[in-house]
Amino acid sequence: MTSPAPGNEPVVVDDSPREACGVVGIYAPGQAVSHLLYLALYALQHRGQESAGMAVSDGETLTIVKDMGLVATVFDDRMLAALAGHLGIGQTRYSTTGSSSWKNSQPVYRTIGNVEFALGHNGNLVNTVALADEAGFLPGTVESDSDVMAELVAVDLARVGAEARSDERHLERAVARVVPSFEGAFSVVFADEGHVIGVRDPNGFRPLCLGRLDNGWVLASESPALDTVGATFVRELDPGEMVVIDAAGVRSSRPFDDERVNPKLCLFEFVYFARPDTQLYGQGVHHARVRMGEELAAHAPAEADMVMGVPESGVPAAEGFARRSGIPFGHGLVKNRYIGRTFIAPNQRLRALGVRMKLNPLRDNIAGQRLVVVDDSIVRGTTTKAMVQMLREAGASEVHMRISSPPYRWPCFYGMDTGTRGELLAANLTVDEIQSYLEVDSLSYLTLDRLVAATGATGAGFCDACLTGEYPVEIPIDLRRSAAIDGDPARELPADAGLPPVAATGRIRASG
Ligand code: SF4
């Protein structure tokens, strides 16, 4: 499980959990919206590096451009200049290697008669199989939950009929009718010829915020995307809120039943996923991460000469640990910023070097030192073990590992790629066993209550299912089974993770 993959398989050289998309929507008459979308997507690149795309409308036609690759690879100046329009949406996507294809890149596009719209999604639905059935997909033909979402909206538009075209708010009404059937995580943006729409699921698993331009509005997964396009942060959308932006301005509505609204922002947005300059629940993420390190130092002190963070997301918590403990902060690892995720390695020696593609030790700072090494999480553990070995080889006399979140024991079904339970180190080993496996002198994790306190938003409502096994939205049996170690969800997932409401009719991959 935690040993390197057998020969000729892709080796994960960064085994952190992966975000699964960033979304943006812009309504800005008189401005070069395609260029603004590009800048916003660039700011959200950390949320997905597999594909990028945008849909832009000039009031008559919706034009989609999308492709595999980074934002800067997919778009060039000529292409952006040709994408004339006053509104649009964009999406940058990450998914598992198996579902990486142009077909699954976004925005998703649909046309019903003369009506056309595009959709960009961040998150994962958990009832995709049931929805696919409802939308009329044959079992096994569904590529992604986002595809099903778009199809259901299209089916609704088709049901309303040809008169929809004459109703300027046809898409808004269809979205409001359809989104209550979605279950799981979805921060989603839509565009048609004249409107930009944003919806945040009733749990608000994934972030979505609203910003103001001089002559327009912006919706974005994270607030730095607003800064990048020169917009002023207005507010985060509430869980269960739908916002429509058009020539009349901005209007907000609540399409979900009140009893479904239960804020559960992904705790790992604070720990790892979001940019440090993002605001979540009104709190700055960087400072929250520094506080996590301070809490960690109070909870699990160590005798050491230097505190260092695992670049880049472990560094703020290391600063906090150093500040609280009084142990000097220093840099012990250099990260290659241009590293891709996987590396095809034919033998053990090249697999080990694959990790060095990402991290290399600063020997002068490490040799002879007792180190506190702070990281945000350990998921599969492969990178951590190799990193510890590197530090030892570079001369570290002691390595005390400190993690600014609790053990990651349960798979995420709400839009993070963390693998199955069988791949999660802490699902299979005790903390003492992990310490032995990693060959560190000591190992401690931050407790959940201290982590939540460090966010500065205690009581705001968080999902912590990957830490506790308590899933806020019921997980159907097919998904539970796909994430279990040996196909026995009753044994491998907690009893309160939800009874099986949906029969498995096919494996649908994460997409949004
Ligand atoms: S299970 Fe974990 S990673 Fe997934 S949404 Fe919940 S807190 Fe975030």
Closest ligand 1 atom to Cα of 462: 7
Two domains, one topology: 22-264 and 284-455: no
Structure tokens at 66: 């999308």
Please state the rounded mean pLDDT for residues 370-390: 92
pLDDT at 4 over 70: no
Closest ligand 1 atom to Cα of 267: 7
Whole-number pLDDT of residue 313: 84
Whole-number pLDDT of residue 137: 83
Closest ligand 1 atom to Cα of 465: 1
Which range among 10-24, 401-415, 450-464 shows the weakest confidence by mean pLDDT? 10-24
8 A C-beta contact, residue 411 and residue 466: yes
Please indicate whether residue 21 is annotated as part of the active site: yes
Please state the rounded mean pLDDT for residues 473-497: 61
Fold for 22-264, please state it: Glutamine Phosphoribosylpyrophosphate, subunit 1, domain 1 (3.60.20)
The answer, yes or no, to whether any atom of ligand 1 lies below 6 A from the CB of 466, is yes
Whole-number pLDDT of residue 125: 94
Please state the rounded mean pLDDT for residues 137-154: 87
CA of 341 to the centre of ligand 1 (A): 21
Whole-number pLDDT of residue 511: 39
Whole-number pLDDT of residue 380: 83
Whole-number pLDDT of residue 22: 95
Closest protein CA for atom 6 of ligand 1: 463
pLDDT at 194 over 70: yes
Domain ranges of the chain: 22-264, 284-455
Whole-number pLDDT of residue 17: 52
Half-sphere exposure of 285 (CA within 13 A, CB side): 23
The answer, yes or no, to whether any atom of ligand 1 lies below 6 A from the CB of 94, is no
The answer, yes or no, to whether any atom of ligand 1 lies below 6 A from the CB of 416, is yes
Whole-number pLDDT of residue 100: 61
Alpha carbons 17 and 20: distance in angstroms, whole number? 10
- Degrees (nearest 5) of the Cα angle 173, 125, 114? 35
Structure tokens at 56: 């832009």
8 A C-beta contact, residue 46 and residue 228: no
Fold for 284-455, please state it: Rossmann fold (3.40.50)
Q: Is the preceding peptide bond at 312 cis, omega within 30 degrees of 0?
A: yes
Q: In what helix (H) or strand (E) does residue 5 lie, and over which residues does it extend? A: none
Closest protein CA for atom 2 of ligand 1: 466
Whole-number pLDDT of residue 2: 28
Q: Which residue has the higher pLDDT, 483 or 111?
A: 111
Q: Which residues contact 271 (CB under 8 A, 6 or more apart)?
A: 289, 292, 313, 376, 377, 404, 405, 451
> DSSP per residue over 148-171, as a string?
HHHHHHHHHHHHH-GGGGG-TTHH
What is the pTM (predicted TM-score) of this model?
0.89
Considering the chain, what is the average pLDDT of its residues? 86
State the pLDDT confidence band at 359, using cuts at 50, 70 and 90. confident
Q: Which of 333-337, 449-453, 495-499 has the highest mean pLDDT?
A: 449-453
